[in-house]
Structure 1
């Protein structure tokens, strides 16, 4: 099965390429912010909604401005792609998938998107438009197909990356008949119904003391000075290291679960709402639950696995897996509890994972399909009552 995939590598530009990329990033950022202001002002002042075509035509006129000759010194493709990305951001906003687009900042991540007509790919070497030399890329893995697009990015720690969008034949993992339910937590990022517990490396907590020191040094520097720039870079590099460590852990964990199981059932978490708890917000953010679920979803789709999700209101932790009794309250600090109905001893996370697996199976067993939809890569929802008493899974499970 052919699948669009992204391949990301780090590269090391020359001094001349750094200047060219800096100019491209600056122009792309300027055009994006200019178009965002244009569309916003047009709506609030004239009650007119501008489209991508309108901003593209306005960009053509902007390039003729004698005060902005630098817009013609870079490739026009990243500028047009910036307008397309802004248009996509507005579509996501109107569809309720995201917030209103925000202006891009100079010290944040910078990027430029190149279509096939703006780069040359020959003998495994990439040369961008307006550049005479290919990029020095550090290859960690290889692909065989022709890139459909290329994205150049620079993170706040001054690292340069190139991402290739490639359509390749994807090697399928061996099929399995195993099914698991997983409970997400803080002590262990994942606890599975089969007894597996991932642990939690707590990458942020590991480097928190060092980060605190660097941030204090940054706060003491004079704004706009070279020393402030160096201190900001030190903070950014440490943040990048923490993020890389977390991402590596989540990729290895999600790959392990998807490769070993044909069906995975998980809970639906309102992470944004949970982050409002300031006592747990830092620990929740360090777990990366949202990124982990995103990885599970696309890896399951790639390798013909099924992902199921139960409703957030299902009392997976408070319900005894043995007899079905539901507790009225179960404070977070209680990790073990004894069922007052059947006297069985339950580990909080393990019990929740078993309940998640049971409710997932009750939706129709394995495999399960919705009408006119394939089971592979689909999300199945279940909801249930959180009231006390003995509740059966049959009474709780309904299709979302």
Structure 2
């Protein structure tokens, strides 16, 4: 199966400048393509990425000599049009919003390749096409890849690529497990294991407010404002990394130790409409949890079972099957039929685990 890896690059100032130039060319190409697409559509034509790519290479690219500067990989313009075409394709399918123009310093990235040839990677150094040798902070697996994507977060540059990896068949300790996700406890398993919700955003909210206030007070266009912007972006990246680290540990534990995993089909967008809980729900990262669980299930050889969205796992007694109303504030399930008392989340996870046996 194809898996991706992303790690931080160890660059000097000249290399950072070169990366910024590549990202700037990719951003310029994408924005030019989007503006031209809109103009052609308004004139009654039906543009596509191939038409824009051909016109750009033949008529626009020769006018801008800085695109063909020494050390610049010319493949970045090709991938910029591919990204624009994919964005419109997702929009037409109803999977995303209408493409927007890219801004400098926000999600800067570009993709390069070696004209169809495989790119060897491995160790703490990698030779990028045209750019040359760059170093990483951690060792990369010795393999080959077709293309490499380089992106920037705050003032750090990261490298990402996909490579073929074999399945890891691991003996499972448990045959079935039900997983109940929540805000108070991030994940409660039917086996009795509970993963607490660290609430990284809430824990760092005070520091974020201070940094945001300092950033707003800086004069626009000044060096101090740019420094405060980087500092604020670093803190946001820290919170994101902490949240992803927590989710990676939980999903890896689930897929390595359980043959079948039953999870709920949560309506995250609908849950976010509750403004009293929106911040807490967003801090949990339910979508990222499900995404990690899906690809790790293929990697470690386990099965994911998604329960129906309307399955009453929290309202059903795990002993007698009696159903009753359960307000969100009520954290203990007290069965009105048999009198059985159990934690609300544990009761729901047990009911979910039984769906695998049904």
Global fold match (TM > 0.5): yes
Q: Residues 287 and 122 from structure 1, CA distance in 2 versus in 1: closer, same or farther, beyond 3 angstroms? A: closer
Name 2:136's counterpart in structure 1: 137
Distance 1:303 1:64 in 2: 47
3-state SS of 2:134 partner: coil
Q: How many angstroms does 1:62 deviate by? A: 4.2
Name 1:394's counterpart in structure 2: none
Distance 1:315 1:101 in 2: 39
Name 1:295's counterpart in structure 2: 292
Distance 2:108 2:59 in 1: 22
CA contact (8 A) 1:145 1:168 kept: no
Q: Residues 116 and 175 from structure 1, CA distance in 2 versus in 1: closer, same or farther, beyond 3 angstroms? A: farther
With the length of structure 1 as denominator, give the TM-score of the two structures: 0.84
Q: How many angstroms does 1:120 deviate by? A: 5.8
Distance 2:341 2:100 in 1: 51
3-state SS of 2:318 partner: coil
Alignment deviations for residues 248-284 of structure 1 (CA, whole Å, 9 cap, x no partner): 1110110001100000001011111111111111111
Name 1:48's counterpart in structure 2: 45
Distance 2:122 2:335 in 1: 66
3-state SS of 1:145 partner: strand
Distance 1:169 1:354 in 2: 33
Q: How many angstroms does 1:107 deviate by? A: 2.2
CA contact (8 A) 1:63 1:72 kept: no
Alignment deviations for residues 62-108 of structure 1 (CA, whole Å, 9 cap, x no partner): 43453x22222232201101111111122222222222222222121
Alignment deviations for residues 138-185 of structure 1 (CA, whole Å, 9 cap, x no partner): 12x431221222111111x11111113222334332245520111100
Q: Residues 123 and 198 from structure 1, CA distance in 2 versus in 1: closer, same or farther, beyond 3 angstroms? A: closer
- Matching residue within 91, 104, 107 for 1:106: 104
Q: Residues 64 and 259 from structure 1, CA distance in 2 versus in 1: closer, same or farther, beyond 3 angstroms? A: closer
CA contact (8 A) 2:150 2:158 kept: yes
Name 1:232's counterpart in structure 2: 229
What pairs up with 1:205-224 in 2 under 5 angstroms?
205-224=202-221
Distance 1:318 1:93 in 2: 38
Distance 1:235 1:54 in 2: 40
3-state SS of 1:144 partner: strand
Q: Structure 1: which 5+ runs fail to align?
A: 363-400
Distance 1:336 1:62 in 2: 69
3-state SS of 1:198 partner: strand
Name 1:249's counterpart in structure 2: 246
Name 1:127's counterpart in structure 2: 127
3-state SS of 2:356 partner: helix
Q: CA RMSD in A?
A: 1.9
Equivalent pairs, count: 354
Distance 2:67 2:142 in 1: 35
3-state SS of 1:35 partner: helix
3-state SS of 1:50 partner: coil
Q: Structure 2: which 5+ runs fail to align?
A: none
185-194 or 114-123, which moves further after superposition? 114-123
1:27 aligns with 2:37: no
Distance 2:162 2:320 in 1: 51
Name 2:144's counterpart in structure 1: 146
Alignment deviations for residues 324-344 of structure 1 (CA, whole Å, 9 cap, x no partner): 2221x3221110131111111
